Structure 1
């Protein structure tokens, strides 16, 4: 591959060419570049989502690059976990750890020769040198600076002559020009930082692996990345990055700083103490990927208008950099629950039924009258009162669904309506209801209601419907008796009503 480096000596950040030569041929190329050091946190997922949406909006390419250069922190299985997490959300990549591109592997550990080549270029330009100091010596420099109440800058201890780098020592970048840095961010606008932010920093470690500060710039260029999306914590490092772009003679991509994700109170960044957890735990809890994707997109991005649900390709079509906010957005789990409920309502009925059945614990499935037919009938009523499968399981464990799959023990006193003197007053009304139910249409709750409603209006709705519901469920709180009757079917409904009359 031809070396793309060009002479930087006549360049400055003000006149640098900011167009990017993309080896992949796409006009927009974005990337998500996580480190395989554990679970994929919500902030990282949101970054991946924004990068993916923007690339797809413009018919571009999205790259999943794995920054596995810190082998001491790498957690086994993390790469597969990252891939599974993104795939669950519907985020697919054009190139990734399983799909090398025209630029080669998307695993940084496979690209060490590329980094050495760029490092050698800097050495030849006199812009990189082996670090001659031990850790103790550097600590001494730092302590002396603190004692003198001045910032520690490694460039103040830069050696006058450099030994030849043999690859076994850390390699430091030599900042060529100490100057104020200015750059443009697509979200934050024009930004700047003083010269105190520039210092010589390590680009290659003694173990032969590059540092993040170096490797991501090399890879973004090699992979043709046009838009770099990342969190605000990287703003402080931008002067270092810009000095490397200039030294290597590389064109600048567009920088897109994403707002932080805040905790529920909106006052501090989301943390584990706020309930932040691994993305796939939300899958286990029964959140739909469409709901999670939509929810994350709206943290820090405002589409404008009143629409909040963006199913299918609507989210891709609506997304734009111009609507990304500068300020952070709160991770509001109640909003996520509401959104999940909204997407559950959009599912085909058979999928809604399967979603409900899948959440039912073994204690429900072992009840004597359990059947998939009754569970399917119970689905809409259950999903009206719940937002995810965790809540379905909690309701099931609290006994809220037992009545549908096992005949209840009915306390006779519970049959008494508030206007009755005793439960015996409810029994004649239930006998009359039983006669009406003999000819009722049990094909729907409305069919049951049609058979009973005229009589309920005659004797009082509460006077009839309260004891009927108790007779069917044995509970003070349950769905209305028309739904209960439909779920149970005609034979079981009449059996239960007759059981409390006798």
Structure 2
């Protein structure tokens, strides 16, 4: 690494949401800069106006702010290398494209759509790879000037050497060589004066002093073309770090439609931002030891590009769930309660329920907040259930002994005036002792009668305390009725 300050950039297109793979690129660029006391730059690449989505830039700002990936320079905060939005740099690209023509690294191309379509059809018929045939690169200086003067629309194309090999080194994938004859004379400046991505990112990276370029491995095949541009201008080539893709499975990409592609999708599903960021860091990167839980500061300490893998990273939702559960348990009860409240409101309309008691039950049992409503769906209305729920091998219960024990518990509970968790516990355990049965033989039937479910956020005593005396008695009577009908 040279002595100059490390400068990395995150350069998203404003297409409406923050893809998990994009967020990982931003994270790695941030970590690399911060681990070397460098600068992390945000640049908005909006030259493809057809893909532009209104409000998308705000999504980018919001996501970076929420996850703590604070940029040192960018459109919203400025810096010495602005503007940081490509559509505001149009004049710069035109100037550099024309300069490149002078240097012999590019040329004016006046071919119209008809000629290009004809060429494509000929190449298809001949079964050869489609690429521009370099026709305009052979025009004389006089012909070019005459066409420019008469106002014929043009693009500026990169002039790729016909022979030789372009080789570059990537920090993840090693040394890669490409035959120049396989590369196309791509358009650098379109007829509307806007640059293509391939040109704009090279010019901007150079002018903004970017030392390390972190991006997805889908750009590996374009990198030789970028290097030919750097060489034609006589510019220093940055260090390349290409990251493998993030996949849903070995053959399937993450999908926006299925709600598993963006940061917002996971926030909406009730994952904590800290857990999402921690998990994304581990998608294709390893700290070199067994640690899995990292704060952002700890990631800065541990990050090394040597830990990035070449293999595609598979998004393992179970792993994210586990990690999120760990982060939820680290919250204080008050913090958990505050985050859980909107989910309680989706499931409970009964104003007499003490929601803080629910938080005490759920804090250590919650994997993600969106699971909460389904865990509480019995509170407002007892679901329909059958006598088979009273069968529990481990508790040694069946419909017969459950009926007996519910009948024994009912009068004892009806007489209980001080309805608290403690008094419920003492009363029911006295009854268990008196009946000479196992704890579960009384507590399981009560739990089923109160919830109509096999799995609940607490046992029979906690549920009775939560629902209150009147509702608990009503539900136990209903349980008795159900078992007697059977």
Quickly name the TM-score band, shorter chain normalised.
Answer: 0.7 to 0.9
Rounded Cα–Cα distance in structure 2 between residues aligned with 1:392 and 1:464: 27
**Which position in structure 2 is the counterpart of 1:390?**
370
Rounded Cα–Cα distance in structure 2 between residues aligned with 1:414 and 1:67: 58
The answer to whether the 8 Å contact 1:434/1:494 transfers is no
Instruction: Tell me the TM-score normalised to structure 1 length.
Output: 0.82
Instruction: Tell me the TM-score normalised to structure 2 length.
Output: 0.84
> By how many angstroms is 1:303 displaced?
2.1
Rounded Cα–Cα distance in structure 2 between residues aligned with 1:69 and 1:424: 75
Gap regions ≥5 residues in structure 1: 1-17, 22-26
Aligned partner (choices 280, 288, 300) of residue 284 of structure 2: 300
Rounded Cα–Cα distance in structure 2 between residues aligned with 1:409 and 1:210: 64
Rounded Cα–Cα distance in structure 2 between residues aligned with 1:156 and 1:493: 83
Rounded Cα–Cα distance in structure 2 between residues aligned with 1:194 and 1:498: 79
- Aligned alpha-carbon RMSD (Å): 3.4
Rounded Cα–Cα distance in structure 2 between residues aligned with 1:159 and 1:88: 53
> By how many angstroms is 1:384 displaced?
4.7
Rounded Cα–Cα distance in structure 2 between residues aligned with 1:429 and 1:127: 90
Rounded Cα–Cα distance in structure 2 between residues aligned with 1:425 and 1:37: 62
**Which position in structure 1 is the counterpart of 2:33?**
55
> By how many angstroms is 1:289 displaced?
0.5
Rounded Cα–Cα distance in structure 1 between residues aligned with 2:428 and 2:222: 73
The answer to whether the 8 Å contact 2:275/2:324 transfers is yes
For residue 50 of structure 2, give the secondary structure of its aligned residue in structure 1: coil
**Which position in structure 1 is the counterpart of 2:461?**
482
Rounded Cα–Cα distance in structure 1 between residues aligned with 2:387 and 2:255: 52
Q: Are positions 1:418 and 2:403 aligned together?
A: no
The answer to whether the 8 Å contact 1:413/1:423 transfers is no
Alignment of 1:343-362 (within 5 A): 343-362=327-346
Q: Are positions 1:252 and 2:237 aligned together?
A: yes
Q: Cα–Cα, structure 1 residues 274 and 473, in superposed 2: closer, same or farther, change >3 Å? A: closer
Rounded Cα–Cα distance in structure 2 between residues aligned with 1:30 and 1:178: 33
**Which position in structure 2 is the counterpart of 1:108?**
86
Aligned partner (choices 12, 17, 22) of residue 44 of structure 1: 22
**Which position in structure 2 is the counterpart of 1:402?**
380
- Provide the aligned length of Structure 1 versus Structure 2: 465
> By how many angstroms is 1:420 displaced?
3.8
Alignment of 1:51-450 (within 5 A): 51-157=29-135, 158-162=137-141, 163-164=144-145, 168-175=153-160, 178-263=163-248, 265-272=249-256, 275-362=259-346, 364-365=348-349, 367-370=350-353, 374-396=354-376, 399-402=377-380, 418=398, 420=400, 423=403, 426-432=406-412, 442=421, 449=425
Name the stretch that deviates more: 61-70 or 82-91.
82-91
> By how many angstroms is 1:99 displaced?
1.9
Task: Tell me the alpha carbon deviations over residues 137-174 of structure 1, each in whole angstroms, 9 at most, x when there is no partner.
Answer: 12222333333444444354232324245795211122
Q: Cα–Cα, structure 1 residues 104 and 455, in superposed 2: closer, same or farther, change >3 Å? A: same
Rounded Cα–Cα distance in structure 2 between residues aligned with 1:408 and 1:139: 66
**Which position in structure 1 is the counterpart of 2:432?**
456
The answer to whether the 8 Å contact 1:19/1:251 transfers is no
Rounded Cα–Cα distance in structure 1 between residues aligned with 2:35 and 2:470: 55
The answer to whether the 8 Å contact 1:20/1:251 transfers is no
**Which position in structure 2 is the counterpart of 1:8?**
none
> By how many angstroms is 1:68 displaced?
1.0
For residue 72 of structure 1, give the secondary structure of its aligned residue in structure 2: helix
Task: Tell me the alpha carbon deviations over residues 288-339 of structure 1, each in whole angstroms, 9 at most, x when there is no partner.
Answer: 1101101111111122333222134222222211110000111122222222
Task: Tell me the alpha carbon deviations over residues 418-477 of structure 1, each in whole angstroms, 9 at most, x when there is no partner.
Answer: 274683554334445677x6689746xxx8546644653533313322344356546565
